[in-house]
Chains A and B, each alone.
Chain A
Amino acid sequence: MTATGAPADAIRTSLASRTAGGIGESTLRPDGVLKVTGEFAYSSDLWHEDMIWGHTLRSPLAHAAIRSIDISRALAVPGVHAVLTHEDLPTAVTTYGLEIQDTPVLATRKVRHHGEPVALVAADHPETARRAAERIRVDYEELPVVTGEESALAPGAPLVHEDRTDHRSGRVPHPNIVHRQPVLKGDAAAAARRAEVIVRGEYTFGMQDQAFLGPESGLAIPAEDGGVDLHVATQWLHSDLGQIAPVLGLPENKVRMTLAGVGGAFGGREDLSMQIHACLLALRTGRPVKMVYNRFESFFGHVHRHPAKLTYEHGATRDGRLTHVRCRIVLDGGAYASSSPAVVGNAASLAVGPYAVDDVDIEALALYTNNPPCGAMRGFGAVQACFAYEAQMDKVAARLGLDPVEFRRINAMEQGTLMPTGQRVDSPAPVAELLRLVKARPLPPERGWENGDGTADVRALPGGLSNTTHGEGVVRGVGYAVGIKNVGFSEGFDDYSTARVRLQTAGGVPVATVYTAMAEVGQGGVTVHAQIVRTELGVERVTVQPADTGIGSAGGTSASRQTYVTGGAIRHACETVRAQVLERGRGLFGRDRPEWAEAGLRLADGRVLTERGETLAELAEVLGDEPAEAEVEWRHRPTEPLDRLTGRGNGHVQYSFAAHRAVVEVDTELGLVKVVELACAQDVGKALNPLSVIGQIQGGTTQGLGIAVMEEILVDPVTARVRNPSFTDYLIPTILDTPTIPVDMLELADDHAPYGLRGVGEAPTLSSTPAVLAAIRAATGLELNRTPVRPEHLTGT
């Protein structure tokens, strides 16, 4: 993807920089029109002469020993080039994983979840590959399944990983627990004795899918040097590379990765899918191999959001002050670890929400089960906790007879508050203000579905076009929620990004090029990177080079971190380039113009200016024929691991906050819900591209709505098989389900972050869900301790 110059029709919302198209402006995405018109080249559109097609044979069972695999009938199919099983893996490294390398490239002795890859086929045609795969005979011996805490921790429970040796295995109370993290602060037991009101609740959070529209796909091309070129849609090229190369037995410089067009990610592309498989087939056959999952396979091709059981106890005094919080969060990690440990860390450290509470006792853990593997998804552990603690906050408020927003305001954290981990929140935390903003908005008009002539516009009613009500049984409800999410990689992770910026003249005009390995997955890095360069170097023409592994890591496009970290790296590289330019200018012109010695010189509009705005030189004159170039690695301030027993530690880089007010209309007889409005207020620190920020907030809000009222992967409790791997039965919101989403955007600078910015991508996904649930509770009077809410729950059927 390449962005060249400022789009002619860029929306200008701010004049923060002198150079057009700089930060603070809503420059338009270079790929926007292409995506809307269907012309954008996604990874599934990749093509190469002579390419053949790879296909994956997956396990139909959730837990089974593999007695034998017979591939002879598949090999005999005309057009088949290769059939691979675990026996064909080229090195002793046969597993991979983001943190714990527990995921087999191809199942060896057993399969641990429904859909686990068992064998690979490469053939001339995808249909041939599919048919050949069907002829592979796998002799399975079914094993009992582990499906939840009870079956995982029961005496004599089957072990999902029978001989764990990973670094966490010695620290967990049971081998079926991936990771456990307590967070203790103060004395919750003593505080509970002071509480005048105690509210307990048990909550269940369903399994959500990222449901990105571009299925897993890529193209592996064998190279003459024995290496491989891999084009793939991913969230983090270098994380993939570090897992792929050892399995292939190649040095990392022989696995050259290029980012292909990504059709959404939301965490679902942090783990590998077809990467190693396509490379194995390409290296075996000597042919370029393309793999594309279909929608059905995609549901098995990536991890999902952890389903969770959450038990909470909140105490408060009569005047509305929280005394303590005790909670236990059990996340189902499924068959492989993926990012479960980090999700546990988030759930534990953010379990209380954006409130000041002195005495807390938190335990969070993730299980190994035979359910589908779960890992990263937008919100990453904070989402499940927010659903539960916000339900609790409403219940405590109700018990105290307090307005739910007022009760939250009384307990809202602010800058300087100590987190349960002991970390001081050292930048703005406008929790009360965000709630005030959403509450202050006028409510959408009542009975908005009524046409003037007495008929009903069913599109505005629960059930929509399905014509289930013309107003009968419809009750309105309003609910509030607020959440806290960390930004960036936490717990001592070395979180950095690499950027190279080059400034040169082309045709007498200064132009800049920015090169990183940042994965553009839709978040808008392609606009923001160019904007930063324009602002810092004062040139309008900026080219964003395609991302590949020819440069160092940019870190993942996850944890709301890319604008912060890769943006920070680009800014720093620009500063270095600017210093070079000024140094060169001083050498060339310093003797004639003493102003060159002044501090505060800047680059804008293609010129070198003094702080007062006088032009010292044209950039092109200073640059001449020699480019100025810098490559930097940039880090945010370091974090610390959380103490294993107490959870104490400065574990997070930055916090971000969003609040929602949901207005819903519920058909109380049929149990159908129409979300009428989901107002959001969020502090973004500094909006580098306001239009993109609004898009992130609206998208995150909608994804939160999905898990509130419809989205859930259903896993059979007996067989642990996925029951609805299709868009027929895994429903995501359509435009008719998506309400008006008015947004209030605060820009309170975080002085530790580049431009004061705050990562925005995830926070709106947190509070959206509990706000909708609160509104449905208000409309129905039901307790509703599980999400998503189904019609059965609202009608008692």
Chain B
Amino acid sequence: MDFLRPAGWEEALAVKAEHPDTVPIAGGTDVMVEINFDRRRPDRLMDLGRVEELRDWEVGEETVRLGASVTYTQIMENLRTELPGLAIASHTVASPQIRNRGGVGGNLGTASPAGDAHPALLAAGAEVEAESVRGSRRIPIDAFYTGVKRNALAPDELIRAVHIARADGPQQFSKVGTRNAMVIAVCAFALALHPRTRTVRTGIGSAAPTPVRAAEAEEFLAGALEEEGLWESRGAVPPSVAAHFARLAAASCAPIDDVRGTAAYRRHAVAVMARRTLGWSWESYRGGRSAPCV
């Protein structure tokens, strides 16, 4: 195995262009597990640790441009206001040691349905900035996940950054695991209220072959909020609306039975999380709060 350490981004892109089978490694929290367990034996491993640009973030008017290697710890500590959903999700990632190394770029590169960042990215609205020697492009998050552990990157592309919409309303993230910390998701749910566009976005993890949005549930809820004038009145969401939203969220799952849980439980849990995250988010909206409770 060749171990490459490009000094900068251009060099990294050049390597990837010349050898598209090169596996990039940043925090290593996914790749090293695969290698240690001998599930993967890349001929070339490219350490992105020296690529400074990947570790920066910029807070713009509309979006946050989050470098691919910004760690979960940094997100939790620095971006709670701008990216509250992703900050809560970051808090649920593994252990402090892992959160000090892992970042969203790796989650996207691996594209596991269980990646904790995905539901929050789907709910907030995001674009993946992919780059190769051929140039740079932005892939909408909705089009990024193409299959189980597959994504829309071309073989010569690397993830430079993620552009995530700054929160314009409350966001929540909730994840079920069978212990109270350091656990891989049995399933997860993220919700973001977007009062500016009067829309609702969601993200579901570990309950389908890829991370997915609950599109029908989103449309139903946005319609109901509009119809009842709740965006202006900030009145309570009727329990029947919350219940139907939860049912639709569960219906957009395509889960399987596996060692971590049954499909039936996943559907059930997604419904419960959808109802609860809606409750918390809407209470924040009514109270003018958007800070998470963690």
A contacts, CB < 8 Å to B: 130, 294, 296, 455-456, 458-459, 462-470, 472-473, 669-672, 674, 709-710, 714, 723-724, 726, 728-729, 731, 733-737, 790-792, 795, 797
**Complex: A432 Cα to B174 Cα, angstroms:** 44
Contact B36 A468 (CB under 8 A): no
**Complex: A726 Cα to B38 Cα, angstroms:** 14
Interface residues in B185-214 by Cβ distance below 8 A to A read 186
B133 within 8 A of A: no
Q: How far is the CB of A86 from chain B (nearest CB, A)?
A: 25
30 A-B pairs within 8 Å (CB atoms) are namely A294-B36, A294-B37, A296-B37, A455-B293, A462-B180, A463-B180, A464-B181, A465-B91, A465-B92, A465-B181, A466-B176, A466-B181, A467-B173, A467-B174, A468-B176, A470-B276, A470-B280, A473-B272, A672-B178, A709-B179, A723-B259, A726-B37, A729-B184, A731-B178, A734-B181, A736-B179, A737-B180, A790-B261, A792-B262, A797-B267
**Complex: A555 Cα to B211 Cα, angstroms:** 54
Contact A670 B181 (CB under 8 A): no
Contact of A469 with B180 at beta-carbon distance under 8 Å, contacts A130-B38, A458-B293 already known: no
B265 within 8 A of A: yes
B260 within 8 A of A: yes
**Complex: A462 Cα to B174 Cα, angstroms:** 12
Interface residues in B164-182 by Cβ distance below 8 A to A read 172-182
Interface contacts (Cβ under 8 Å), in number, total 109
Which of A467, A470, A472 is within 8 Å of B88, CB to CB?
A: A467
Contact of A731 with B183 at beta-carbon distance under 8 Å, contacts A466-B175, A469-B276, A792-B261 already known: yes
Q: Count chain A CB atoms within 10 A of each CB in B173, B175, B176 and give the residue with the most.
A: B176
Contact A674 B259 (CB under 8 A): no
Chain A residues within 8 Å of B267, by CB: 797
Interface residues in B90-139 by Cβ distance below 8 A to A read 91-92
Which of A465, A729, A792 is within 8 Å of B265, CB to CB?
A: A792
B32 within 8 A of A: no
Chain B residues within 8 Å of A468, by CB: 174-176, 273, 276
Contact B175 A791 (CB under 8 A): no
**Complex: A791 Cα to B273 Cα, angstroms:** 14
Q: How far is the CB of B280 from chain A (nearest CB, A)?
A: 7
Q: Which residue of B lies closest to A469 (CB)?
A: B276
Q: Which residue of A lies closest to B35 (CB)?
A: A127
B268 within 8 A of A: yes
Contact B269 A670 (CB under 8 A): yes
Q: How far is the CB of A143 from chain B (nearest CB, A)?
A: 25
Q: Which residue of A lies closest to B33 (CB)?
A: A728
Chain A residues within 8 Å of B38, by CB: 130
Contact B269 A791 (CB under 8 A): yes
Contact B37 A710 (CB under 8 A): no
Q: Which residue of A lies closest to B287 (CB)?
A: A454
Q: How far is the CB of B117 from chain A (nearest CB, A)?
A: 14
Chain A residues within 8 Å of B143, by CB: none
Contact B276 A731 (CB under 8 A): no
**Complex: A215 Cα to B122 Cα, angstroms:** 40
Interface residues in B216-273 by Cβ distance below 8 A to A read 259-262, 264-265, 267-269, 272-273
Q: Which residue of B lies closest to A674 (CB)?
A: B180
Chain A residues within 8 Å of B176, by CB: 463, 466, 468, 670, 672, 791
A sample of 16 more A-B contacts (CB under 8 A), given A467-B175, A736-B181, is A464-B179, A464-B181, A465-B180, A466-B176, A467-B172, A467-B292, A473-B272, A669-B272, A670-B272, A710-B179, A734-B181, A737-B181, A790-B261, A792-B262, A795-B269, A797-B262
Q: Which residue of B lies closest to A727 (CB)?
A: B182
Q: How far is the CB of B283 from chain A (nearest CB, A)?
A: 10
Contact B180 A791 (CB under 8 A): no
Q: List 9 A-B pairs, minimum CB-CB distance, nearest first.
A: A464-B180, A736-B181, A797-B265, A797-B264, A466-B175, A736-B180, A797-B268, A455-B293, A734-B181
Chain A residues within 8 Å of B184, by CB: 728-729
**Complex: A494 Cα to B279 Cα, angstroms:** 66
B154 within 8 A of A: no
Contact B259 A714 (CB under 8 A): yes
Chain A residues within 8 Å of B91, by CB: 465, 467
B contacts, CB < 8 Å to A: 36-38, 88, 91-92, 172-184, 186, 259-262, 264-265, 267-269, 272-273, 276, 279-280, 292-294
**Complex: A714 Cα to B183 Cα, angstroms:** 17
Contact A724 B259 (CB under 8 A): yes
Q: How far is the CB of A418 from chain B (nearest CB, A)?
A: 42
**Complex: A440 Cα to B273 Cα, angstroms:** 38
**Complex: A463 Cα to B88 Cα, angstroms:** 14
Contact of A465 with B268 at beta-carbon distance under 8 Å, contacts A729-B259, A729-B260, A734-B182 already known: no
Contact A458 B294 (CB under 8 A): yes
Contact of A795 with B259 at beta-carbon distance under 8 Å, contacts A463-B176, A467-B175, A470-B293 already known: no
Q: How far is the CB of B84 from chain A (nearest CB, A)?
A: 12
**Complex: A729 Cα to B182 Cα, angstroms:** 11
Q: How far is the CB of B99 from chain A (nearest CB, A)?
A: 11
**Complex: A746 Cα to B269 Cα, angstroms:** 44
Chain B residues within 8 Å of A729, by CB: 184, 259-260
Q: How far is the CB of A731 from chain B (nearest CB, A)?
A: 5
Q: How far is the CB of B55 from chain A (nearest CB, A)?
A: 25
**Complex: A736 Cα to B264 Cα, angstroms:** 27
Contact A734 B178 (CB under 8 A): no
Contact of A733 with B179 at beta-carbon distance under 8 Å, contacts A472-B276, A795-B268 already known: yes
Chain A residues within 8 Å of B183, by CB: 466, 731
Chain B residues within 8 Å of A669, by CB: 272
Chain B residues within 8 Å of A731, by CB: 178-179, 183
**Complex: A468 Cα to B92 Cα, angstroms:** 11
Q: How far is the CB of A713 from chain B (nearest CB, A)?
A: 10
Chain A residues within 8 Å of B292, by CB: 467
Contact B261 A791 (CB under 8 A): yes
Chain B residues within 8 Å of A459, by CB: 180
Q: How far is the CB of B161 from chain A (nearest CB, A)?
A: 26
Chain B residues within 8 Å of A791, by CB: 176, 178, 186, 261, 265, 269
Chain A residues within 8 Å of B260, by CB: 729
Which of A466, A674, A726, A795 is within 8 Å of B177, CB to CB?
A: A466
Chain B residues within 8 Å of A465, by CB: 91-92, 180-181, 294
Q: Which residue of B lies closest to A789 (CB)?
A: B178
**Complex: A456 Cα to B293 Cα, angstroms:** 6
Q: How far is the CB of B251 from chain A (nearest CB, A)?
A: 15
Q: How far is the CB of A296 from chain B (nearest CB, A)?
A: 6
Q: How far is the CB of A710 from chain B (nearest CB, A)?
A: 5
Which of A294, A466, A472 is within 8 Å of B92, CB to CB?
A: A466
**Complex: A296 Cα to B37 Cα, angstroms:** 8
Chain A residues within 8 Å of B180, by CB: 459, 462-466, 672, 674, 734, 736-737
Contact A710 B181 (CB under 8 A): no
Chain A residues within 8 Å of B272, by CB: 473, 669-670
Chain B residues within 8 Å of A797, by CB: 262, 264-265, 267-268
Contact A795 B175 (CB under 8 A): no
**Complex: A462 Cα to B175 Cα, angstroms:** 12
Contact of A790 with B177 at beta-carbon distance under 8 Å, contacts A458-B293, A729-B259 already known: no
Q: Count chain A CB atoms within 10 A of each CB in B174, B178, B279 and give the residue with the most.
A: B178
Q: How far is the CB of A727 from chain B (nearest CB, A)?
A: 9
Contact B178 A467 (CB under 8 A): no
Chain A residues within 8 Å of B186, by CB: 791
Q: Which residue of A lies closest to B178 (CB)?
A: A710
Chain B residues within 8 Å of A463, by CB: 174, 176-177, 180
Q: Which residue of A lies closest to B116 (CB)?
A: A466
**Complex: A735 Cα to B96 Cα, angstroms:** 13
Q: How far is the CB of A667 from chain B (nearest CB, A)?
A: 9
Q: Which residue of A lies closest to B291 (CB)?
A: A455
**Complex: A296 Cα to B35 Cα, angstroms:** 13
Contact B179 A737 (CB under 8 A): yes
Chain A residues within 8 Å of B37, by CB: 294, 296, 726
Chain A residues within 8 Å of B273, by CB: 468, 670
Chain B residues within 8 Å of A790, by CB: 178, 261
**Complex: A309 Cα to B268 Cα, angstroms:** 29
